[in-house]
Structure 1
C-alpha cells in the first residue's frame, strides 16, 4: 500500500495492518512461553533458597536466583525494545564493597533492582496468560469470521455439514450457510478485526508499565545518573567559559597592554632627544589605556555584571537590551530575587538569545519577558525576524549550549521558530529562592 494513501485512511482502518500492531501481537505470543521460562525457575529457586536459609546454603541460592532474574530482565528489555519500541535503561550494576563472592552475594541481596526483577518474573506469568488468551481468541475469531466467505466451502466438501453450526440437537440444527448469514458472519468478524488492535495495544501498555517499572533503574539511581550527567555538563561549561575568558583576554586587553608597554618604553627612550615625539607616544598610549579599560569592563560584564549583583535582573536585562541592534522591550515582573546562581543563568540566557537576535534573526523588534510561575522562573524572548532557529541546527550551536546549561539545573528550553518567523524561545528555571 502506498504510504501516502495509507495515511489518508482513518486510524481504525489502518490499525489491523500496521507493523506496530503485528509487532505487539508477536510480543504477546512470545511473552507466554518466556513468562513460563521465567516463572518456573524463579519460584522454585526462591522457595528452595528460603527453605535453606536455616543453613548458610540459602544465601547463595537466593543470590543466584536474583542474579538469574536480572538475566531474565536483559531478555525482556531487549524484547520490549525490539517489538514495542520501549527504551528502558539497565539498572545499576551490582558491586560488592570489598570484592569476592560473599561481598557480591550481599550486594545482590541488598539490591532493590534485583528483587524487582524477581517480582517481575512472578507477576508477569498470570498477566501473560490473560493477555495471550484474550489476544489469540480475539485475533483468531476476528480474522476467522472475517474471512469466512473464503473458506466456508470446506464444510460441505470435507466436514459433511453446510457451514459453521450455531445450534444443534437431535431434531434440528442451524448452520451459517446462506449468503446473508455468511455476510453477517463476515461483518461481525470485521468488527473484531477492527477492535482487536486497540484491545491489543491496551494489553501491551500494561507490559510496557511492568518492564519500565520493574526492570529499569530505581528512581534514586536514575536521579544520581542524571545529576552526574548535569555535573559533567556544568564542568564542561565552566571549562569552556574559562577558555573563552582566556582567549578574550589574550586577544583583547593583553595584546593591547603589550602594545601599550612597547609604546611607553619607546617614549621613555625618545623623551630626552625628542620630547614632542615622546609626548605623541604618551598620548597614543593614553588612548590605548582607555580602550583596554573598556574591553576589560565589557569582559567583566560578560562574566557577571555589577549591575546584576547590585540591582537585579530588571536593570541588568535593560542594560543588555540597550546594546542590542534592534529595539527591545523588557518586562520583568518578579516579587523577589531568586538565588544568585539562577539569576546569573537567567541573565546569561537572555544575553545569548538577544545576541542571536542581533546576529541571525534579521528582526525589527524583540521582546523580553521575565516572570515567576509557582516555583519556576520563566523567561521568554520573542522577535519578529525570519525564524528557522533550532537547537543543534546550523547556527543553533548556541541554542544547544543554552539548552545544556538550562537542563543542568533542571530547567527546560523550548524553541518555537517556524520558517518566516516569529521566533519564541522560552526558558523555565527553578526558582530556589
Structure 2
C-alpha cells in the first residue's frame, strides 16, 4: 500500500471543506453586491419618489383644468382657476427643492408675482391667469404620471434583477428628470423676469402719480385757492365801502393787491413743482442752475450734454436733483455741493456731492426710498454712498432717450 503523501491527504473527517461534498457557510452566501456612491442612491431615491409625486400632481392638474374650465363662465370660475395656478407655483417650488436635494439641479426660482400692490381682485386674478410659470408647472404635473410609473417600476425591478447595471439606468433616467425640471420648472428666460419687474414698476408709477396728484390738490386747496377766496371777499367788501368810505376801500384794495401777488407766487411755485417753464424752454443746464441758486449752500453745476434727453427723462432728472439739493439744504450741514450730469452710452448719469456730515441712506427716510423707486420704475438706478462724517455722493442713472425730431 502507498502511504498518504501528507496529513491533509490522510484527513477525511466530516469538517474538511470540499472533501465530503458538503458546502461551508461561505458557499451558501450570495455574491456581494457592489457599493454605490451617494449620488447614485440619491438618484434612486428621486426616481422612486417620482410615482407618489406624479400621482399627486396629476390629480391636482386634472382637477384644476376640469373644475376651473367648467366654471370659467361663472363668478367663481376665474378666481378659482387663478388660485389654482398660484398653488401650482408652490408645487413647482417643491419639485425644484427635491431636484436640488437629490439630483443636484440648481434651478433659479422664478420671480414672484407682484400681487401685493393695489388693484382690484379681478386685476390680481387676471395677473395670475397670465402667469407662464403657473401654467408650465401645471403642464409638468399633467405629463408626469406615465413617467413616474415607468421610473418607479424600472428601479424596483432593477433592485432584484439588474443590480449591476442599476447605476447606469438610474443615471440615464435621472438625466431625463433633470432636463424636464430645467425645461418646465425654471424661469423661461430673462424676458419673464423682466415682465414681472415691469408689472411691479407700473404699480410704483401709479402710486407715485396718485401721490403727486394729491399733493397738487392739497397745495391748491390750502394755498392759492384759499388766497383767491380771501381776495374775492376783500374785493367784495371794498366794493361796498367804495362810495361811503373811499379811504378804507382803497386800503382794502391795496391789501387785495398784495394777496394777488402772493397767490401768483404760490401758483408759480406750484407750476415749478409740476414742470418748470425754464426746464421746457432752456433745458437741464439752466433749470438745475436755477435750483442750485435756491440751495442754502454754494452749488457748482456742470451739465455735459450734447443733446437734450426726452422730456420724461429730463423731468425725472430735474426733480431728482431738486429733491437731493433740498436734502443738502435741510440735513447735510454742508459747506459746498456739486451737481454733475453727463451721458455715458445709452445712460444719463447724475451725481450730487456734498461735504456734509454724511449718514444718509435708503433706509433713513421715505425721501431717498421714493427717489430710488421712481428711478427704478423707469429702469434707472439709484445709489447712495454716505459714511458717517461725510462726504455724501449720490449717483443716479436713467436710460437715455433722445427727443423726437
Query: What's the TM-score bracket when you normalise by the shorter of the two chains?
Result: 0.5 to 0.7
Q: Secondary structure at the match of 1:277?
A: helix
**TM superposition shift of 1:112:** 5.6
Judging changes above 3 Å, is the alpha-carbon distance between structure 1 residues 37 and 399 closer, same or farther for their aligned structure 2 residues? farther
Between the aligned partners of 1:404 and 1:358, the Cα distance in structure 2 is: 22
Between the aligned partners of 2:209 and 2:341, the Cα distance in structure 1 is: 25
What residue in structure 2 maps to residue 410 of structure 1? 379
Larger gyration radius, structure 1 or structure 2: 2
Between the aligned partners of 2:220 and 2:252, the Cα distance in structure 1 is: 24
Correspondences of 1:288-327 after superposition (within 5 Å):
288-327=259-298
Correspondences of 1:235-246 after superposition (within 5 Å):
235-246=206-217
Listed as ranges, the gaps of 5+ residues in structure 2 are: 1-37, 55-87, 114-130, 152-177
What residue in structure 2 maps to residue 35 of structure 1? 46
Q: Is the 8 A contact 1:327 1:364 kept in 2?
A: yes
Between the aligned partners of 1:37 and 1:90, the Cα distance in structure 2 is: 30
Between the aligned partners of 1:80 and 1:390, the Cα distance in structure 2 is: 40
**TM superposition shift of 1:42:** 10
Between the aligned partners of 2:395 and 2:214, the Cα distance in structure 1 is: 28
**TM superposition shift of 1:40:** 7.2
**TM superposition shift of 1:226:** 1.4
Listed as ranges, the gaps of 5+ residues in structure 1 are: 1-26, 44-68, 93-106, 126-207
Q: Is the 8 A contact 2:93 2:109 kept in 1?
A: no
**TM superposition shift of 1:35:** 3.3
Between the aligned partners of 1:387 and 1:28, the Cα distance in structure 2 is: 53
Q: Secondary structure at the match of 1:235?
A: helix
Whether 1:88 and 2:109 are equivalent positions in the alignment is: yes
**TM superposition shift of 1:217:** 3.1
What residue in structure 1 maps to residue 232 of structure 2? 261
What residue in structure 2 maps to residue 338 of structure 1? 309
What residue in structure 2 maps to residue 371 of structure 1? 342
**TM superposition shift of 1:80:** 8.6
Judging changes above 3 Å, is the alpha-carbon distance between structure 1 residues 294 and 91 closer, same or farther for their aligned structure 2 residues? closer
Judging changes above 3 Å, is the alpha-carbon distance between structure 1 residues 75 and 236 closer, same or farther for their aligned structure 2 residues? same
Judging changes above 3 Å, is the alpha-carbon distance between structure 1 residues 330 and 210 closer, same or farther for their aligned structure 2 residues? farther
Q: Secondary structure at the match of 1:234?
A: helix
Judging changes above 3 Å, is the alpha-carbon distance between structure 1 residues 429 and 332 closer, same or farther for their aligned structure 2 residues? same
What residue in structure 1 maps to residue 24 of structure 2? none
Q: Is the 8 A contact 1:91 1:215 kept in 2?
A: no
Which stretch of the first structure deviates more once superposed, 339-348 or 29-38? 29-38
| Aligned pairs, number | 283
Whether 1:73 and 2:92 are equivalent positions in the alignment is: yes
Between the aligned partners of 1:28 and 1:364, the Cα distance in structure 2 is: 64
Judging changes above 3 Å, is the alpha-carbon distance between structure 1 residues 90 and 427 closer, same or farther for their aligned structure 2 residues? closer
Correspondences of 1:188-207 after superposition (within 5 Å):
none
TM-score (norm 1): 0.57
Judging changes above 3 Å, is the alpha-carbon distance between structure 1 residues 28 and 429 closer, same or farther for their aligned structure 2 residues? farther
Between the aligned partners of 2:315 and 2:179, the Cα distance in structure 1 is: 40
Q: Over the residues paired in the alignment, what is the CA RMSD in angstroms?
A: 4.0
> Which of residues 348, 351, 360 is equivalent to 2:319?
348
**TM superposition shift of 1:38:** 6.2
Between the aligned partners of 1:81 and 1:245, the Cα distance in structure 2 is: 53
Whether 1:399 and 2:368 are equivalent positions in the alignment is: yes
Q: Is the 8 A contact 2:359 2:386 kept in 1?
A: yes
What residue in structure 2 maps to residue 281 of structure 1? 252
What residue in structure 2 maps to residue 427 of structure 1? 396
What residue in structure 1 maps to residue 26 of structure 2? none
Between the aligned partners of 1:287 and 1:312, the Cα distance in structure 2 is: 32
Between the aligned partners of 1:80 and 1:293, the Cα distance in structure 2 is: 68
**TM superposition shift of 1:335:** 1.6
What residue in structure 2 maps to residue 390 of structure 1? 361
What residue in structure 2 maps to residue 97 of structure 1? none
Q: Is the 8 A contact 1:327 1:366 kept in 2?
A: yes
Judging changes above 3 Å, is the alpha-carbon distance between structure 1 residues 71 and 366 closer, same or farther for their aligned structure 2 residues? closer
Judging changes above 3 Å, is the alpha-carbon distance between structure 1 residues 231 and 82 closer, same or farther for their aligned structure 2 residues? farther
**TM superposition shift of 1:30:** 9.1
**TM superposition shift of 1:265:** 1.0
Q: Secondary structure at the match of 2:378?
A: coil
CA displacement 1:46-81 (0-9 Å, x = unmatched): xxxxxxxxxxxxxxxxxxxxxxx9776321444699
**TM superposition shift of 1:264:** 0.7
Q: Secondary structure at the match of 2:351?
A: strand
Between the aligned partners of 2:99 and 2:363, the Cα distance in structure 1 is: 30
